Amino acid sequence: MRSLNILVVDDSQLTTKKIAQMLTVMGHNIVAFAKSGEEAIKQYSKHNPDMVTMDITMPDMDGIEATKRILQQNPDALIMMVTSHGQEAMVFDAIEAGAKGYLLKPLHIEKLEVNINEIYEKYGDKQ
Amino acid sequence: MTEGDLFKALFDVIPYNIYLADINSLKILYMNKQMIKQRGNLVGRKCYKSIYGEPKQCFFCKNPDLIDNESKPNNKMIVSECFNPVDDHWYQLHEKAITWPNGDTVKYAIAVNISELKETQNRLAEAHAQLTLKNRELERLSETDHLTQAYNRLKIDELMRIEVGRTKRYQRVLSIIMLDIDHFKEVNDQHGHQTGDLVLKEVVNIIKENTRDTDFLGRWGGEEFIIVCPETDLPGAHVMAEKLRRRIEEFNFSIVKRKTASFGVASLTPEDDEVSLIRKADESLYFAKNNGRNRVGK
């Protein structure tokens, strides 16, 4: 698989750092970080990344709302939730909003890699 | 031995992480032996920074819910689950505010490591997500035409029923456009079916780019498509059909270069149902076909 440009969204600096490290090891490129839903939308339109890792609980707009908004403007956006919320209702809302993957913390590099590859193979290169 | 020492002595024998923090300054006042062993001595540091790695008070902090208006303990014990990104462990937190012997309000938190339990729960939640995704995918497959990704006949029939019902109930307007690619058989005969498929896909893209998000596009038959346009009257549908006709006529198709389409338009009247509406659009399309093609029927 080619090297992807990825936007990492999480309000915890520590988490973004960990995700970024894993993605870099996997050979991907971090195009930007965002700490809130609002920022995620801005960074998405600025960088048009190949994929997004999205936290759910964040100050101001949450990750599910941000996912909806990004997909409204970019129906092909590939967004994967990376969250600590495992409740069934939350999972359902995220998928309904258009998330293409759902991972729970703690994140392991194997888990992250398998999911990115799966999403990429299934939904392919966006135009 | 003071009351505070007694507390500490008690906490030290409990095999879970326990810390005390000032409810206002958020400074750690005490950690029990178990927690010091695991995290090092953080007494005197801010809890959010040293325990959770946050730059400011955690926004999930429960402190405000543990005290009354005067910053005194409200005697509530709050139990929550929390993922700590510093050590990558899940904890069940038991938090309560108490009055320390010196009169200050402090919070004590008992943190039980539940990482193993959560691992099982989380695997289940991830499996649930996979299942929901698969279901969504199946739902999409069951209602779209595989080649063009337009809605299939089944889904369009359903959408027509819903839209005709809604339009009549609220006395709104509804129009449909039928279009048929002119001399499509020649494409298949001269260039093969793959080229024919390509033309269908390209036509669908043109339509999608030139219709609104609220319009529904379906593949009606081989080279025939239907567009359901809610909140659109007959003149509006004519304008839209004419625009699509021109876009197709002007489009530079990959292999066949030039291709045109004929259009039929119809609007719902109070006497109409789905069947008669489609018949009217069909008649309009038939008119266009019989009057030289590459045009919109009456």
Mean pLDDT of chain A: 92
Residue A19 lies in a domain: no
Residue A117 lies in a domain: no
Q: Where are the alpha helices (H) located in A1-125, listed in sequence order?
A: 13-25, 37-47, 63-73, 88-97, 109-123
- For residue B11, what are the β-bridge partners? none
The answer on B23 and B110 residing in a single domain is yes
Q: What is the pLDDT along chain B (298 residues), one digit of tens a residue?
A: 566 787 788 889 999 999 999 999 999 999 999 999 999 999 999 999 999 999 899 988 999 999 999 999 999 999 999 999 999 999 999 999 999 888 899 999 999 999 999 999 999 999 999 999 999 889 988 999 999 999 999 999 999 999 999 999 999 999 999 999 999 999 999 999 999 999 999 999 999 999 998 999 999 999 999 999 999 999 999 999 999 999 999 999 999 999 999 999 999 999 999 999 999 999 999 999 999 999 999 8
Residue B81 lies in a domain: yes
Interface test with A, best of B133, B144, B205 (most A CBs within 10 A): B133
The answer on B157 and B110 residing in a single domain is no
Give pTM, 2 decimals.
0.74
Residue A44 lies in a domain: yes
**Catalytic residue list contains B223:** yes
Residue B94 lies in a domain: yes
Q: Which of B158, B223, B250, B283 is catalytic?
A: B223
Are B296 and B263 in contact by the 8 Å Cβ rule? The answer is: yes
- Nearest CA to CA, how far is B118 from chain A (Å)? 9
Q: Is B141 on the interface with A (CB under 8 A)?
A: no
Two tokens at B291? Answer: 């009057």
Number of domains in chain B: 2
How many other C-beta atoms can be found within 10 angstroms of the C-beta atom of residue B188? Answer: 16
Indicate the residue of B83, B122, B136 with minimum beta-carbon distance to A95. Answer: B136
Taking residues A79-95, what's their average pLDDT?
92
- For residue B42, what are the β-bridge partners? none
What pLDDT, on a 0 to 100 scale, did the predictor assign at position B172? Answer: 95
Residue B126 lies in a domain: no
Q: How far is CA B228 from CA B168, B209, B266, in A?
A: 15, 15, 10
**In which domain, by residue range, is A76 found?**
25-52+63-85+95-107
Q: Per the CB < 8 Å rule, is B129 touching A57? A: no
- Nearest CA to CA, how far is B130 from chain A (Å)? 8
Residue A100 lies in a domain: yes
Nearest 5 degrees, angle CA B73-CA B77-CA B79? 140
Residue A71 lies in a domain: yes
Residue B132 lies in a domain: no
A1 pLDDT band (50/70/90 cuts)? confident
Residue A73 lies in a domain: yes
What pLDDT, on a 0 to 100 scale, did the predictor assign at position A105? Answer: 93
The answer on B147 and B285 residing in a single domain is yes
What pLDDT, on a 0 to 100 scale, did the predictor assign at position B1? Answer: 58
Two tokens at A1? Answer: 């698989």
The answer on B159 and B246 residing in a single domain is yes
Listed residues B98, B114, B130: the one ending a domain: B114
The answer on B105 and B164 residing in a single domain is no
Give the domain CATH number at A36. 3.40.50.2300
What pLDDT, on a 0 to 100 scale, did the predictor assign at position B137? Answer: 87
Give the domain CATH number at B192. 3.30.70.270
**In which domain, by residue range, is B208 found?**
142-290
All residues of chain A having their beta carbon less than 8 Å from the beta carbon of residue B85 are 12, 14-15, 18, 105
CA B219, chain centre distance (Å): 26
Q: Tell me how far apart the alpha carbons of residues B233 and B172 are, in angstroms, rounded to a whole number.
A: 9
pLDDT in tens, A2-51: 899 999 999 998 999 999 999 999 999 999 999 999 999 999 999 999 99
The answer on B243 and B197 residing in a single domain is yes
Number of domains in chain A: 1
- Nearest CA to CA, how far is B88 from chain A (Å)? 6
Q: What ipTM goes with this model?
A: 0.87
Give the domain CATH number at B77. 3.30.450.20
Residue B119 lies in a domain: no
pLDDT in tens, A108-117: 999 999 999 9
Taking residues A73-83, what's their average pLDDT?
93
What pLDDT, on a 0 to 100 scale, did the predictor assign at position A127? Answer: 39
